[in-house]
């Protein structure tokens, strides 16, 4: 990360997130000094590749920093702030969205809600370190902040590519549907700009028969790949074709967001029959949930098979109950209607896939969880055994200081550090990417410092681990 960025008026405390005990803090500082400035590897996220293709200025503080951040909108909504007041548009266009400056003031008035949350840490960092403005945000300084940020966004140094470079990002993966044209990724390459922005293959809209528009997606999939995607053979081949297309655009991984971690390992004929049943019943409007679940389960194994062929790393993100708040979802759509974690089984659910391909050393499956009770009970034992399985970092609700620490405390003793893959920022909030990696690096150093202070690991080995977690492991696991 560029040092010049780090001298704003509201510079953050250099010891933040380190343990309070002076001896342990001193060790944490030493470890952190080894990793602070390492390049950022961002192998999984949701930034918009268009930003880097067009390199146009970001429009305004609210639509850049607030409206698209569901950590922010959910917290304010939980305390009675209407989504329209935060700039979120209803699907039917009803309601009046607030102006950016008004949204910013509303946010400033509610900033105390974020005390003790990672959002506060990330936002303070963005305000202080990226924009050099005072923190915390208050109603008194809200207008001044809004203006200062607005001015800076108009400067060349705050355009997407400039920020990418100053943030020290070595590689940034976005996530796209197989139906995406990847035109922005192509444009980035064609532009000659050396920033490495790659895609990841996320086939959920074609793998989950319960996705709205599933059949239309299948049809478009067929057009793009010139395959008969209403047949099992053509459907699978279309995936192969499209995975190759993504690989040409730099993708090294696939990503699968399923309601559960269930997998299946059916025979070829059974799989074909299941596919046909799913398509026919979808066409007839009689799709059963059990068939949909079975199909998603089988497709994870099919994707693993293709990963063995083409070398793409598989990511599995299960266990979110999407759009839990049905009235809100009906009004505002996806990613706003309350996605809530659920208790998630891995031991039984992953067994068919792991028994089929889990012993393959050439395969890498990175599994995430929203159910922390599975860390020590299921995931660390599984990853500490199967060669193909690695543990993704603390995810979503848990990529916070306490959450990241619990991940290390509960997985390390069984899976070790080397069956984990470093940090994922998993964010749409581009400006917070360095802050998120910095939090993860600080927490890893804090954990390692405790091991050193308690004489559980020599300091020179802890330094090696800190560097591995921050840089080497994500590069290696994601084949970057």
| Interface of this chain with its own copies, residues 319 to 338, rule: CB under 8 A | 321, 324-328, 338
Rounded (10°) angle between helices 433-453 and 459-467:
160
**Tokens matching residue 53:** 């293709």
Location of structure tokens 């192509």: 186
| Residue 464 CB, nearest approach to its own copies (Å) | 8
HEC-encoded secondary structure of 298-360: HHHHHHHHHHHHHCCEEEECCCEECCCCHHHHHHHCCCCCCCEECCCCCCCCCHHHHHHHCCC
Binding to its own copies (CB under 8 A): which residues in 184-223?
A: none
Rg (CA), the chain: 23
Nearest approach, Cβ of residue 198 and its own copies (Å): 26
Edge-to-edge strand list for the sheet holding 253-256: 253-256, 313-316, 365-367, 389-391
- Select the residue interacting with its own copies from 345, 472, 475, 476 (CB under 8 A): 345
Pick the stretch among 100-108, 180-188, 384-392, 423-431 that binds its own copies (CB under 8 A).
384-392
Based on CB atoms, which residue is closest to its own copies, 275 or 417?
A: 417
In the set 57, 95, 168, 387, which binds its own copies (CB under 8 A)? 387
- Interface region with its own copies, contact rule CB under 8 A, candidates 44-52, 61-69, 220-228, 354-362: 354-362
Tell me the closest approach of the beta carbon of residue 415 to its own copies, in angstroms.
Answer: 8
Residue 218 or 336 with smaller CB distance to its own copies? 336
Residue 469 is given by DSSP the state I
Distance in Å, CB of 138 to its own copies, minimum: 11
CB nearer to its own copies: give 168 or 403. Answer: 403
Contact 301, 357 (CB under 8 A): yes
Binding positions for its own copies, 293-322, rule CB under 8 A: 321
Q: Which of residues 2-21 bind its own copies (CB under 8 A)?
A: 12-13, 15-21
Non-local CB neighbours of 267 within 8 Å, separated by 6+ positions: none
Residue (of 197, 203, 196, 160) closest to 180 by Cα position: 203
Query: For residues 73-112, which are near its own copies according to CB under 8 A?
Result: 74-75, 77-80, 112
Site for its own copies in 18-57 (CB under 8 A): 18-24
Q: Which residues pair with 254 in a beta bridge?
A: 201, 314
The position carrying tokens 């979808």 is 282
Q: Does 343 bind its own copies (CB under 8 A)?
A: yes
Nearer to its own copies, 156 or 455 (CB): 455
Q: Minimum CB separation from its own copies for residue 267, in Å?
A: 16
Closest separation between CB of residue 349 and its own copies, Å? 11
Contact positions with its own copies (CB under 8 A) in 388-427 = 389, 397-398, 400-403, 409-410, 412-419
Q: Least distance in Å: CB of 15 to its own copies?
A: 6
The CB-of-74 to its own copies minimum distance in angstroms stands at: 5
Per CB under 8 A, which of residues 116..175 are in contact with its own copies? 116-118, 120-121, 136
**Binding of its own copies at residue 382 (CB under 8 A)?**
yes
Among 6, 384, 459, 476, binds its own copies (CB under 8 A): 384
- In the complex with its own copies, the residue whose CB is nearer, 193 or 397, is 397
- H runs (alpha helix) in 154-231: 160-166, 183-190, 204-207, 214-225
Contact flag: residue 380 with its own copies (CB under 8 A): yes
d(CA 298, CA 266): 7
Sites for its own copies among residues 433-462 (CB under 8 A):
450-451, 453-458, 461
The minimum distance between CB 66 and its own copies, in angstroms, equals: 16
| Binding footprint of its own copies, residue count (CB under 8 A) | 92
Strand order in the sheet with 169-173: 40-42, 169-173, 197-198
| Nearest distance in Å: CB 345, its own copies | 7
First-to-final CA distance of the chain:
19
CA distances from 273 to 157, 211, 363, 402 (A): 56, 20, 27, 46
Q: Is residue 67 a contact residue for its own copies (CB under 8 A)? A: no
By C-beta, is 121 or 171 nearer to its own copies? 121
- Region of 168-176, 218-226, 251-259, 346-354 interacting with its own copies (CB under 8 A): 346-354
Which residues have C-beta within 8 Å of that of residue 216, sequence separation ≥ 6?
A: none
Per 3-state DSSP, the chain is made up of helix, strand and coil in percentages (nearest 5) of 55, 5, 40
Query: With binding defined as CB under 8 A, does residue 289 bind its own copies?
Result: no
Among 89, 90, 113, 230, binds its own copies (CB under 8 A): 113
Q: Which residues partner with 341 through β-bridges?
A: 320
The pairing of beta strand 169-173 with beta strand 197-198: parallel
DSSP E strand boundaries for 118-271: 169-173, 197-198, 253-256
Residue 399 is given by DSSP the state -
């Amino acid at each position: 990360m560029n040092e010049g960025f780090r001298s704003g008026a509201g510079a953050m405390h250099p010891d933040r997130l380190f343990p309070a005990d002076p001896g342990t803090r001193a060790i944490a500082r030493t470890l952190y000094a080894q990793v602070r400035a390492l390049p950022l590897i961002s192998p999984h996220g949701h930034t918009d590749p268009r930003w880097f293709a067009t390199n146009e200025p970001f429009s305004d503080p609210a639509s850049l920093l607030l409206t698209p951040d569901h950590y922010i909108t959910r917290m304010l909504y939980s305390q009675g702030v209407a989504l329209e007041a935060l700039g979120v548009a209803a699907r039917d266009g009803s309601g009046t969205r607030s102006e950016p400056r008004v949204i910013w003031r509303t946010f400033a008035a509610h900033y105390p809600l974020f005390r003790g949350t990672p959002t506060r840490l990330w936002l303070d960092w963005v305000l202080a370190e990226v924009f050099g403005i005072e923190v915390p945000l208050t109603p008194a300084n809200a207008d001044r902040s809004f203006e200062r940020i607005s001015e800076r966004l108009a400067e060349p140094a705050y355009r997407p590519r400039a920020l990418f470079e100053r943030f020290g990002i070595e590689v940034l993966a976005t996530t796209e549907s197989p139906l995406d044209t990847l035109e922005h990724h192509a444009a980035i390459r064609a532009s000659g700009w050396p920033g490495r922005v790659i895609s990841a293959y996320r086939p959920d809209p074609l793998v989950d028969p319960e996705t709205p528009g599933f059949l239309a997606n299948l049809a478009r999939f067929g057009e793009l790949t010139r395959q008969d995607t209403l047949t099992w053979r053509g459907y699978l081949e279309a995936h192969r074709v499209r995975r190759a297309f993504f690989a040409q655009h730099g993708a090294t991984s696939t990503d699968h967001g399923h309601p559960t971690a269930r997998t299946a390992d059916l025979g070829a004929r059974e799989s074909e029959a299941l596919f046909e049943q799913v398509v026919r019943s979808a066409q007839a409007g009689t799709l059963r949930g059990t068939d949909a679940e079975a199909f998603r389960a089988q497709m994870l194994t099919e994707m693993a098979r293709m990963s063995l062929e083409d070398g793409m790393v598989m990511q599995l993100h299960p266990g979110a109950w999407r759009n839990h708040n049905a009235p809100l979802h009906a009004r505002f759509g996806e990613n706003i209607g309350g996605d809530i974690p659920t208790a998630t089984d891995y031991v039984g659910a992953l067994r068919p896939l792991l028994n089929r391909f889990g012993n393959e050393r050439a395969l890498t499956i990175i599994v995430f969880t929203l159910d922390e009770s599975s860390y020590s009970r299921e995931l660390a034992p599984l990853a500490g055994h199967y060669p193909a399985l690695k543990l993704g970092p603390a995810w979503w609700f848990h990529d916070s200081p306490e959450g990241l620490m619990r991940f290390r405390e509960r997985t390390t003793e069984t899976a070790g550090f080397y069956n984990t893959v470093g940090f994922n920022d998993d964010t749409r909030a581009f400006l917070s990417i360095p802050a998120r990696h910095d939090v993860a690096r600080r927490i890893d150093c804090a954990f390692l410092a405790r091991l050193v202070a308690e004489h559980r690991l020599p300091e020179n080995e802890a330094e090696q681990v800190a560097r591995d977690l921050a840089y080497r492991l994500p590069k290696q696991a994601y084949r970057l």
